[in-house]
Amino acid sequence: MSARRSTGVMLIASGSIGITIGIIISFTGILAICGIPMVLVCIPMVIWGYLMKAKDRDLKDQEFAERMLQTQAVASGVNICPQCRSPNQITSPYCSSCGFAFDPISGPRSISAVDPVEAALLGNQIKNTREPVFEPEDF
């Protein structure tokens, strides 16, 4: 997803620079033969860059909503199948719709749906410890 974002930003930046250079070159008269086509080529680049950036934002929002749904489901005792998105009981070892095998309850469970920061905070809450953010300074 970051490749899509960087590509969109690069298209916007290079298209904007191309349009600016093309307009400047077009005013010289003789070089208008190069400047006008440059502007005509760079306008679709800028539009395409903004479209890629908007698509990336939509994908990011959708993935965030799915992670929040997964986190809420796990907290309420429901497994959501990653393949077919159907809810299952947490005690069920397999998905009732597609047969996907969930991680065993006794084994270590992946926390892919939880943000690493949330996992660290949850770990500190479970241990009931508070670790200082900054190291104490010795004077």
Q: pLDDT per residue over 59-84, tens digit each?
A: 888 888 888 877 777 777 777 777 77
Q: For residue 15, report the phi and psi dihedrals to the nearest 5 degrees.
A: -65, -40
Predicted local distance difference test score (pLDDT) of residue 128: 46
Q: pLDDT per residue over 26-68, tens digit each?
A: 888 788 888 889 999 999 999 999 999 888 888 888 888 888 8
> Does the global pTM surpass 0.75?
no
Q: For residue 19, report the phi and psi dihedrals to the nearest 5 degrees.
A: -65, -45
Residue 48 is given by DSSP the state H
CA 86 to CA 89: how far, in whole Å?
10
- What is the residue extent of each domain of the chain? 2-127
Task: Pick 18 or 63 by higher pLDDT.
Answer: 18
